[in-house]
Chains A and B, each alone.
Chain A
Amino acid sequence: MYTLELKVNGQPYKVEVKATANLLEVLRDKLGITSPKVGCETGDCGTCSVILNGKLVKSCLVNALTAQGAEVLTLEGLGRPGALHPLQQAFHEHYAAQCGFCTPGMIMAAKALLDENPQPTKEDVKHYLSGNLCRCTGYVKIVDAVMAAAEEMRR
């Protein structure tokens, strides 16, 4: 086992991990941070997306020890009940979730996009969310929600 120190949503953690552990299992199983979901574990579905040192990543493909000293942002770090992040509020208002399993990953991908480009076109949004799969509601409302959040955040 190896000692991994990292910050998640501003909070420092120190955990013992195996050399083969991925960041997703560390977040969920060691730290109890469960918004990143276990979908495919092959990097195809995007439901484990988090922001690592300012960059969007699929946490199932990040070897945990390569995140030594890193700062990780998950959905838990965006907002909370009563004080939602504009993206969370927009997903809520635009009915952009059905079963909700892909939603944390969608919102983190959208957050990474808006950090980089506060004025995206619909095409930009579609491109940036292209690594995230939704298997129930489709993508129209999700794209609408991201566009609305971008507008709200520019005010």
Chain B
Amino acid sequence: MKRTFKLEDLDCANCAAKMEDAISKLPGVTKCSINFMAQKMILEADDDKFDAVLKDAVKCVSKVEPDCRIII
């Protein structure tokens, strides 16, 4: 499954790269790309694990940039 999410208060490009890195390494994630300019994240993960993966992704994001939120 592939879904696009909006990111709020994503303020630093370096952080976006770090988030992308961290989320891509999560188990169950096929592909993750974060577009700093469009403030969007495209997450591709196994269908049955998607919700769990998304939860982990949210954690990753707030770890790297505490102000930033994924809008679900």
Do these two chains interact? no
Q: What is B's interface to A at a CB cutoff of 8 Å?
A: none
